[in-house]
Structure 1
Amino acid sequence: MAFLDSSLAGAVGRLARGCARHRGFLLVAWIIVLASAALYVRGAGAQYTQQVAPTGSESDRALTNVTAISPGGQLPDVETIVVRAREGTLDDRMARDRMTLLIAQVGKLPGVALVADPGGPLGPATVGVTPISADRRTAMISVVLKGTALAPDLAAVRRVQDLALAYDDPQFQVEMSGPGITAIETAGISTTPLIFALLAGLLLVIAAVRSPSGLLICLVSGAVAATLAVAATAKLAHTVVMTPFAPMVAGLLAFGICLGGAVVIVYRAQSALLRGEDGIQAAETATATSGAALAVGGLSLTVAMAVVSIVGLSGFRGIALAAAAVGTITILVVLTLLPALLGLAGTRLLGWTERRFLSVAGAGLGRRPGLRSWWATQVGRYPAQVAVVAGMLLVGLTVQASSIRLGGGDSGAEPTSTTSRRAYDLVSEGFFPGLNGPVLVAVRQAPAKARPATRSVTSADVAAALAAAPGVRNAAVMLEDTAKGLAVIRVLPQPGPRSEEASELIHQLRAEVLPAVLRDTATTADVGGPTALFDDAAAGFRGSVVALLCIVLLTVALVAFVVSRSAVLAALLGLSATLSVQAAGGVLTILFQNERFAERLGVMVSPVEPFVLVPVFVAVLGLAPGMNLVLLGRLREQNRAASDRSAGGPSGNGQDRPRERAGGRRSIIRSARDGIARGHAELGHVVLTMNMVMLLVAVAIAAQPPRTLKMMGFGLAAGVAVDALVLRVAALPAIAHLFRLSHAENASRTSRQDTYTAGRTDRPPRARRANPVTVEGIEGSVERQTVPTTPLLVGRAGDPGGNEKWNGHRTRTPGLRSGVPPRPRTPAPSDLAAQHGNGTPYFYEIRVPRDGRR
């Protein structure tokens, strides 16, 4: 509780104690809430919509005008079947008959409105060029479905896909592309990586908690939080626009935070039980320390995301509200459900062996320190070097993030295992790459009285000017409604949609070509299409990211400062959260914008879509504050414990030392460095377990075939890995060592000297001879337990046994071969009452091996 204000920590502890005591009523209430949330998710009927273009952008205006002039006021869903003759040409009789039969059968499928024969008049009208390549080997068949481009009828698309791909054979290649095919491929998730991640995550959690009850508590907490998060997202989807990624991000974020928090809290409750506390006391101790830290992290997430939503950052509003709900759910689960489950479990939270040893010995089994204690010692020994190396890595990734290219991908960047990628390659080879991503220019004729003009211009004039622009293969009027004063011009650029040349062409059309032809007219034109949409989204996203990072840094730092009163701790938490996000962006730059790495992933070099970065950034920001607070809070606890023990208590005279439980253990912590290293070794690996579980989930997402899921998975994995392996394992402990307050160290040394001097002058002679009994600590460090004992040979001078008492000095006594007494035994309760001479008990030092055997 050292990192929190004492009154706040006390309130959290009292709340946890009350929840543990009234666990029956509380668990019934949680069951009702969980059942209601599950039923709501099942019957809510929430609609999730991907924001196609930033509100108010030029591409958004173009999309609105194109929709207004389209039949039925909806963008039609046009899927494209690409056929290629592997041998000969499509004019061969066998190939022509197969293509004719394919067109006829597709036209009869339910949900199909129109099929354009490449050899008929509808073919060029739907494609914009002659749909048969110059070498007569490739053709494009346009299929218009009854759904819309933004909400395709996936069942109808699957029927067309199954029928079309059935025609593929060694002589006749058939592939498909379109918005419906892209949606199907994106939703096609392989279950094998997810199952592997689930099993590996379970093994990690089992290794951390080491008991069936502890594992069950962790899984229940994560599942409850995820269910409530999805239900909250579904509720919010009725009032704000939620992207399809929102429920997945909310559920994953809630599951990760609460699962990781449960692992840490269960571990600390187990440590409290091994010290001799009962179940309710253990629940109170764990919640008032690590649970309070997670609650503060959840509060930081809630406040930061609420501010982001209120500000209305482009692309972040809906998912930020979902993340704010996740923060609130985290607070409720950690402060109420977890204490109740811990109180219900009691000592069953421990493994069978630990329970048996605890019932017999009254204390827990020692646990070997392992690699974590060695690493914690090295960090404490060389904190500056560790901090420099970690800082250089973070700076390097941040520099990479500054050069990230935002924009949009296309089917040409997908793995070659997808049919949309193969269709993209066939069109690019048979025709030209720009045919895969046409530019749509919406032309509006304003009334002359509303906007006086010196000359007039028609949509055909605008199309002619666009066709003459460098980099344009063809431009023609596709749709026109004179009554509405609207027209749509389809521009076919030479470069592919995701290329830098295509983005430069969009900029040229907007800045030079259209202003020149529309100057002094009542006509306006807006440039839209896939490339323009992503370019506008990227432009708005750049400004939003800067604002997002500033809001998160200031909010997290402010909340941390309010509850901890430590400027250093507040700055560390805010900075670490923002660095994790920038590092995730840097890793995506390296993987997807470097040809060598992209080829190894099975994708092509492409920009990073803003809609992919939004969930990545929100998830990384949500996971960082709580776990960082848990670790830093533990380090501060041990740091303060070191100062208090050295000084004899907060006042330096031992009068204010907290009351210890009878039979409890006190750590031998000689300095703040020892305290920080012990806290790092004790809790660092448990916090790391949570990150490894989330890392496995992220890798399972990255293992999916679609490129967008690969980007999202690798972005999450990068943020989690940097947060865990760089910040929590190395940077934060090293900084804690560097910033352990020098005055605390000086006060510690002064207090130890004063205590030693006072002991030599004021302590009774026999009291100076008292030695403590030391046993191995629960986490592998040596802890001190002062227990009064009697000499091994209890007796008085002249006893019938002929043995003289051992007087604490190295002098030979009758009956002993040397001046060193034999190995002492554990004192029995009757021995504790035995006294010698003037009634002062004797003390012996007993050291217990690491494995717990005497």
Structure 2
Amino acid sequence: MLAQILYRIGWFATRRRWAVIGTWLALTVVVVGAAAASGAKLEDGFTAPGLDSQRANELVAASGGGQAGITAQVVVTPAGDGTFRDDEAARAALARLQADVRALPHVLGTTDPVGALTGAQDAAAVGALSPDGRVAQLRVQYPGLDQLSAADLTALEAVPHDPALRVEMGGDLFFAYSSADSNVGELVGIVAALVVLLLAFGSFVAATLPVGMAVLGLGVGIGGMTLLAGVMTVPSFAPVLGAMVGLGVGIDYALFVVTRHREHLAEGMAVDESVARSLAGAGRPVVFAGGIVVVSILGLAVAGVPFMTAGGIAISLVVLVMVVASVTLLPALLAVAGQRVVGRHRLETTSPRWERWTRHVTRHPAAYGVGVTVVLLALAAPVVALRVGIPDDGALPPSRTERQAYDLVAEGFGPGRNGPLVVVVDLAGDTHAADAVARAVAADPGVAAVEPPVRRGGLATIVTHATTGPQDVATARTIDRLRTEVFPAALAGTPAAAHVGGQTASFADVGQRVNDRLPLLVGAVLAMSFVLLMLVFRSVLVPLKAVLLNLLSIGAAYGVMVMVFQWGWAADLIGLESTVPIVSFIPMFMFALLFGLSMDYEVFLLSRVRDAYTGTGSNDEAVVRGTARTGRVITSAAAIMICVFLAFVLGEDAATKMFGIGLATAILLDATLVRLVLVPATMKLLGDANWWLPGWLDRLLPHVDVTEPA
């Protein structure tokens, strides 16, 4: 049924080729134009319902306090060796700078280092000047992102300052609107993919068609993602991750179809008929694999974290667009190209080299199976040390003003000043509760300083600074201790309640929520993959083996991330300035993505093996033939994905680097050690048992044919 539908789509696209291409061009222009005109903003709402930090933020927002918005920080120090206490010119320049910042549009208020110099004891002045008098911190309070734009960041950066001062800036406003990373990752990935396709096809026309299709599809997908941000909160990392995945799967899917089309042309088939038949054959695993990627990513909803759910929906949209482009736009482009796609090589014909390799592996299946498994387990071992968090400005290159501001604050006030904890006390009529909490918090060994409580209505907020930095494990322990020990003791017998909010606490809470829900996602994706593969290949052991081997490759990718980002191995090679924790949402995103992406190779390889087994009745011969027919196309497709993912490591953002390294490592291991060594070895060891399915289960399961005929 699916083959017939795809055949008709392919036939229609060839006969109406210019109309189809024109429609896609018009759609791209309309979607990209609408996205640019929409003014929709991407926002990073690292919160989730039911978390203590979320409750704190909700209370502050309901009270109308300014702390419900976002902040920036302006960090100032005298340009010379003096301090603000003994440098009159620096003091006067600081006063002018403070006044200019307070006068900016949308600024609700700032801390008051000038007041601290004159001995003022109000909340704005306390703690705004370092104990040695050398570093002043202007914490600039803004309303929520819905009232701001990039112009506010531009205005803050443009505030003039006297040469007597050294001024650095950072904070939430920079995180929300800074655009230091460019599109260099996409451009390098496209060029690298084009080179791989040229080497694989030996035809410039055949190489450019997949790239052209992917670029148009990416325009529609990313534009649609921006429009989606108008109705839901889409996180800022979604376009980067969507570009990574979209380019990778788009070019890969096109590669499968173009490969089949070139074979048909080489056999003398007419162009239009070849396109339709290629889509009917290769298009089936494309649709199936793309569907699995979409469903896997949508499975992120089980995390119960809204920004992850929204990010999953947005990225799934890009994948869905790529699947549609592969079965509509690509056939039209192939029809226009005609015979020019035939180059020097035929990519998917049986390769003697891969046949020799597979026969070698199947002659020594136990040795290869055990050896590769040990390698993957060794790579995965560092997972036990995996620590999640959100890299802050301290992970940026030293040339960035945000990093310099971060270092100055840590130097002048201590590391905890870069990640203040906002203790929110719901007084419930108890006027003494805030002071009791402030005293108890100040006495905790993990707390360096506590600012005076700020009361508003029935609420009090107490800005607290830990003795350790935002990313330190000790800071998370301090937050937990405040909640479980300090607050209950301080508020015993009172109706008041206290919560810990602020960015640092929100990041820690979201990370813990993701850790708690990750097993649920893993179980759901594993079960879905097992059932779908069982439907396709009519086997129990084949899907079970696939699930276990995928776990091995993903675990190894996690281990490599720990080695690079937490331990600093080869960090200089990717421009990482310091070790950082793994971004809390990346392991879950990677798992969903990689399980979907690995199905591309799984379906493509096993469909060939299954077809050969049906034709010959010999499991050993089927494994050899299937691997020999797919080895070159799988390695070419994997090389494209790896190039695309690694290209994004060129950016400055640590999270983007993690996605690039993690995804590239997993694809490399999956397409080489797993797909072309472990799969042949284990299938040889299992023999005919690979294709065992109980009769009663065979009768219950519906028949789903997405395999590509030989």
**TM-score, length-scaled by structure 1:** 0.72
Structure 2 residue aligned with 1:424: 406
Alpha-carbon offset, residue 327 of structure 1: 4.8
User: How much has 1:391 moved relative to structure 2?
Assistant: 2.2
Aligned with 1:538 (options 511, 516, 528): 511
Q: How many residues align?
A: 688
Map of 2:701 onto structure 1: none
The structural deviation recorded for 1:266 is 0.8
Q: CA deviation at 1:461?
A: 1.7
1:174 matched to 2:173? The reply is no
Q: 1:559 aligns with which of 517, 523, 532?
A: 532
For the residue of structure 1 that corresponds to 2:452, the secondary structure is strand
SS of 2:579 mapped into structure 1: coil
Matched, 1:154 2:127: no
Instruction: Give the equivalent residue in structure 2 for 1:758.
Output: none
Provide the residue aligned with 2:419 in structure 1.
Answer: 437
| Identical-pair percentage | 27
The letter of the residue matching 1:734 is: A
What amino acid sits opposite 2:560 in the alignment? Answer: V
Determine the structure 2 residue equivalent to 1:66: 60
Task: Look up the match of 1:480.
Answer: 455
Equivalent residue in structure 2 for 1:348, among 304, 319, 340: 340
How has the CA–CA distance of structure 1 residues 76 and 676 changed in structure 2, closer, same or farther, with 3 Å as cutoff? closer
SS in 1 for 2:76: strand
TM alignment of 1:594-613, pairs within 5 A: 594-598=567-571, 601-613=575-587
Residue 42 of structure 1 and its aligned partner are, at CA, apart by 3.4
Counterparts of 2:152 and 2:408 in 1: how far apart (Å)?
24
**Kept after mapping to 1: 8 A contact 2:294/2:596:** no
Any idea what SS the aligned residue of 1:120 has?
Answer: helix
2:196, 2:640 within 8 Å by CA — same for their partners in 1?
yes
Task: Please say if residues 323 and 618 of structure 1, whose CA atoms lie closer than 8 Å, have aligned partners that are also in contact.
Answer: no
Cα separation, 2, equivalents of 1:431 and 1:687:
54
Q: Aligned residue for 2:229?
A: 237
Question: Which residue of 462, 479, 487 maps to 1:514?
Answer: 487
Which amino acid in the other structure matches residue 286 of structure 2? Answer: L
How far has the Cα of 1:605 moved from its partner? 2.9
For the pair 1:726 / 2:673, whether they are aligned, the reply is yes
Task: Look up the SS of the partner of 1:119 in the other structure.
Answer: helix
Aligned equivalent of 1:629: 603
Matched position secondary structure for 2:582: coil
| Residues 707-740 of structure 1 deviation map (CA, whole Å, 9 limit, x = unaligned) | 2332232223233323333333433343344445
Query: Is the partner of 1:440 in helix, strand or coil?
Result: strand
Select 1:498's aligned residue among 448, 461, 471: 471
**Residue 261 in 1 paired to residue 258 in 2?**
no
Q: In the alignment, does 2:682 pair up with 1:735?
A: yes
Residue 44 of structure 2 is matched in structure 1 by 50
Distance 2:435 2:114 in 1: 26
The CA deviation at 1:693 is 2.5
Task: Map 1:122-521 to 2 at 5 A.
Answer: 129-136=126-133, 138-142=134-138, 144=140, 146=142, 148=144, 153-161=149-157, 163=159, 167=163, 173-185=166-178, 187-190=179-182, 194-309=186-301, 312=304, 315-351=307-343, 372=354, 375-446=357-428, 457-482=432-457, 485-521=458-494
2:218/2:322 contact within 8 Å kept: no
Q: Distance in 1 between matches of 2:148 and 2:281?
A: 51
Match of 1:807 in 2: none
* Residue 206 of structure 1, CA deviation: 1.6
- Computed over aligned residues only, the root mean square deviation of the Cα atoms, in angstroms, reads 3.6
User: What is the alpha-carbon distance in structure 1 between the residues aligned to residue 168 and residue 33 of structure 2?
Assistant: 41
Whose relative contact order is higher, 1 or 2, with alpha carbons under 8 Å and at least 6 apart?
2
CA offsets 1:607-647 (integer angstroms, 9 cap, x no match): 2222444544444344222232112223333444444xxxx
Unpaired segments of 5 or more residues in structure 1? Answer: 1-6, 355-363, 448-454, 644-670, 745-854
Q: Contact (CA 8 Å) 1:147, 1:153: kept in 2 or not?
A: no
**1:204 CA drift (Å):** 0.9
| Secondary structure of 1:441 counterpart | strand
Q: Which amino acid aligns with 1:547?
A: L
Q: Distance in 2 between matches of 1:334 and 1:198?
A: 17
| 1:188 CA displacement | 0.6
Rounded to whole Å, the distance in 1 between the matches of 2:511 and 2:141 is 30
1:119-149 Cα distance to aligned partner (Å, 9 max, x none): 315987567744333333x222415365547
Gap change, CA 1:741 and 1:288, over 3 Å in 2? farther
Q: How far has the Cα of 1:196 moved from its partner?
A: 3.6
Q: Call closer, same or farther: CA 1:382–1:313 in 2, change over 3 Å.
A: farther
More helix by share: 2
Deviations for 1:627-685, whole angstroms, at most 9, x for unmatched residues? 32112223333444444xxxxxxxxxxxxxxxxxxxxxxxxxxx654554344344323
Task: Return the letter of the residue paired with 2:510.
Answer: A
Which of 581, 584, 587 is the aligned partner of 2:560? 587
Q: What is the one-letter code of the residue matched to 2:484?
A: A
Return the alpha-carbon distance in structure 2 between the equivalents of residues 421 and 721 of structure 1: 33
Cα shift readout 1:149-174 (whole Å, capped 9, x = no counterpart): 78754333334335568848xxx643
How far residue 509 of structure 1 moved from its aligned partner, in angstroms, is 0.6
2:200 maps to a residue whose letter is A
Q: 1:635 to 1:21 in 2, by over 3 A?
A: farther
What displacement does 1:214 show? 1.6
* Match of residue 649 from structure 2: 702
Q: Is the alpha carbon distance of 1:257 and 1:194 closer, same or farther for their aligned partners in structure 2, counting shifts above 3 Å?
A: closer
Report Cα offsets for 1:401-434 as digits up to 9, x if no partner.
Answer: 3431122333223332322222222222222111
Q: 1:687 aligns with which of 634, 639, 642?
A: 634
Whether the 8 Å CA contact 1:44–1:235 is kept in 2: the answer is yes
Q: 1:344 to 1:675 in 2, by over 3 A?
A: farther
Aligned-residue offset at 1:591: 1.5
- Asked whether the 8 Å contact 1:12–1:288 carries over to 2, the reply is yes
Distance between the aligned counterparts of 1:610 and 1:542, measured in 2?
Answer: 8
Distance in 1 (CA, whole Å) between partners of 2:158 and 2:569 is 35
Give the CA deviation at 1:320.
2.6
Letter in 2 for 1:155: A
1:245–1:615 Cα contact (<8 Å) kept = no
Change (3 A) 1:166 1:200: farther
Mean Cα deviation higher: 722-731 or 31-40: 31-40
